[in-house]
Amino acid sequence: MEDDLRKIPPVKFLLVDDKPENLLALEALLRRDGLEILQARSGVEALEILLAHEVALALLDVHMPEIDGFALAEMMRGADRTRHVPIIFVTAAAEERNRLFRGYDAGAVDFLVKPIDPRILRHKTETFFQLHRQRLELEETLRLNETFMAAVGHDLRNPLNAIVLMSEALLEKSEDPATLKIAERVRSSGRRMAGIIDDLYDLTHARRGDGIPIARVVTDALSVVRKVVSEHEPVRSGAPITIVHEGDTIGEWDAGRLAQVFSNLVANAIHHGAPGKPIEIEAKGADGELVICVKNEGVIPPDLVPVLFDPFRSGRTATSKRDGLGLGLFIVDQIVLAHGGSIVVTSNAELGTIFCVKLPKAEAPESKPSFPPRAPGATAGLDGNR
Ligand SMILES: Nc1ncnc2c1ncn2[C@@H]1O[C@H](COP(=O)(O)OP(=O)(O)OP(=O)(O)O)[C@@H](O)[C@H]1O
Ligand SMILES: [Mg+2]
C-alpha cells in the first residue's frame, strides 16, 4: 500500500498574493510532505499557473492590484478546468465574507481573516489536502481495477476456448450417455463464463467513457432475432417464442451487437419471466426506424426499476430468480445508445413486462461512431411501473 501511495503525484496548492513576504510566510506555514506549493504574485500569473497545473486548492488574497481575489475567483469559475477548484479567500476585514461573486455555488469557498491563525490555516487546508489525496488514490485504484479486469479477461479466454473446444470434441466423439451429459455441462458452463468475461470487457469499455464500439453493416434485424430465438429455444421448456413482424426490418447496424441486445432480452424473458409462459417478439419497421419489442409475463420487482440499467445493481437481489451479474441490461442500453437508439420498459401486472428497442436505420449524419455512456445513475426510458 505504501508503495502505491508513493506513486501518487503530489497535491498542488496555489497561493496568490501580490506581496512576496506574505507568500513566503504562507508557504512556511503550509509546507509538508506530498504537497507542492505554487506561488503567483498577480491574477494573471495565477491564471497562467492554473492552465498548466491541476490544483487542489487556491488561497487568494482579496486585495491585489488589477485583478483582485474576487475577480480572479470569477474567472476561475468561468473556465471548465478550474470551475471546481476550492477557494480560500484571505481578507483583511471580516465583512468581506459578505461579498458575493459569480460562481459562488460551483465549488467550495472559505475565508481566512488576517492576521491568520496558523492552526486554523493548517486545519482548513489539511481537509482539502486529504480530500484531493483520496480522490487521486481512488482514481488510481479504479485505473488499476480496469487494467486488471482487461488483463485477466484476456488471459482467461485462451484456456477457456480450449475447454469449450475439448467439450465439443467429446460431444462429437463419445457415445457414452454419461460422458455426453458431462461434456454438455462443461460446454454450457464454458460458454456462460465466456459470456461473463465479454460482459466485463464491455463494462470496462463503456466505463472508460468511449462507449461500446460498433461497426455498422447492412443487416436484417429480423434474421438476427430469428437466429437468437433459435439458439434459445432448445434450452427452454414451455410455450414457444413467437415472432411477428411488419414493414422493412433492414438497416445499418452492428449485427453482432444487435444479436447481443436481443439475446440478453430473450434470456431475461426466459429466466426472469413467468416460467413456461409465452414470450412474444414484435418487429415493426417504418421509414427511418425499427422498433422491436420483447414481451413476457411476470413483473420486474418495483425496487429494481430505478436501477434497472445500472451495472451490477440489479443482479443478485432477494427477488431475482437467477444469480446473473446484473450487467445484461446495462450492456443492452449501451449498445442501443451507441446506435443512436433508445430503450423503454413497461412492467405491470396487467401487461406483463415489455422491453421496446427503437433503432434509427442509419447513423445520423452529425453523430460520432460511438456515443458516450449514459451518466451514472441515469436510467433509460421507463414506462408504467413508476
Ligand atoms: N423480461 C424480464 N422480466 C422480468 N424481470 C426482468 C426482465 N428483465 C430483467 N428483469 C429483472 O431485471 C434484473 C436485471 O436484468 P439484467 O439482464 O441486467 O441482469 P441479470 O439478468 O440478473 O444478469 P446478467 O444479464 O448479467 O446475466 C433481473 O435480475 C430481473 O430481476
Ligand atoms: Mg440478463
Q: Which of 116, 133, 167 is the endpoint of a domain? A: 116
Which residue has the least CA distance to atom 2 on ligand 1?
Answer: 269
Residue 21 lies in a domain: yes
Which atom of ligand 1 approaches the CA of 355 most closely? 1
Residue 137 lies in a domain: no
Indicate whether 215 pLDDT > 70.
yes
How close is the Cα of 318 to the center of ligand 1, in Å? 13
| Residue 219 CB less than 6 A away from ligand 1 | no
How close is the Cα of 54 to the center of ligand 1, in Å? 42
Determine the angle formed by the axes of helices 177-205 and 118-173, rounding to 10 degrees. Answer: 150
Residues 205 and 229 in one domain: no
Q: How far is CA 14 from CA 59, 102, 130, 237, 385, in A?
A: 6, 20, 16, 67, 51
Rounded mean pLDDT, 38-62: 94
Indicate whether 334 pLDDT > 80.
yes
The boundaries of the domain holding residue 19 are: 2-116
| Residue 352 CB less than 6 A away from ligand 1 | no
Residues 186 and 240 in one domain: no
Residues 314 and 261 in one domain: yes
Which atom of ligand 1 approaches the CA of 319 most closely? 31
CB half-sphere exposure, 323, CA atoms < 13 A: 0
CB half-sphere exposure, 250, CA atoms < 13 A: 3
| Residue 304 CB less than 6 A away from ligand 1 | yes
CB half-sphere exposure, 226, CA atoms < 13 A: 8
Find the range with the poorest average confidence among 107-121, 287-301, 304-318: 304-318
- The Cα 70–Cα 73 span in angstroms is 5
Residue 132 lies in a domain: no
The best mutation among 268, 327, 331, 335 to test binding of ligand 1, ranked by most ligand atoms within 8 Å of the C-beta, falls on 268
pLDDT reported for residue 234 = 77
In DSSP terms, 355 is beta-bridged to: 294, 345
Which residue has the least CA distance to atom 31 on ligand 1?
Answer: 320
Residues 195 and 234 in one domain: no
Residue 324 lies in a domain: yes
Q: Which of 116, 140, 165 is the endpoint of a domain? A: 116
| Residue 71 CB less than 6 A away from ligand 1 | no
How close is the Cα of 133 to the center of ligand 2, in Å? 38
Note the pLDDT tens digit of each residue in 261-302: 999 999 999 999 999 899 999 999 998 999 999 999 999 998
| Residue 311 CB less than 6 A away from ligand 1 | no
| Residue 314 CB less than 6 A away from ligand 1 | yes
CB atoms within 10 A of CB 309: 25
Ligand nearest to the CA of 325: 1
| Residue 329 CB less than 6 A away from ligand 1 | yes
Residues 164 and 272 in one domain: no
Note the pLDDT tens digit of each residue in 223-272: 999 999 998 887 788 888 999 999 999 999 999 999 999 999 999 999 99
Q: How many independent structural domains does the chain possess?
A: 3
Q: How confident is the model at residue 348 (pLDDT cuts 50, 70, 90)?
A: very high
Q: Which of 164, 181, 210 is the endpoint of a domain? A: 210
Residues 38 and 91 in one domain: yes
| Residue 200 CB less than 6 A away from ligand 1 | no
- The Cα 108–Cα 57 span in angstroms is 9
| Residue 306 CB less than 6 A away from ligand 1 | no
Find the range with the poorest average confidence among 48-57, 107-116, 188-197, 338-347: 107-116
List the end-to-end C-alpha distance of the chain, in Å, as a whole number: 45
Per the model's pLDDT, the better-predicted residue between 88 and 375 turns out to be 88
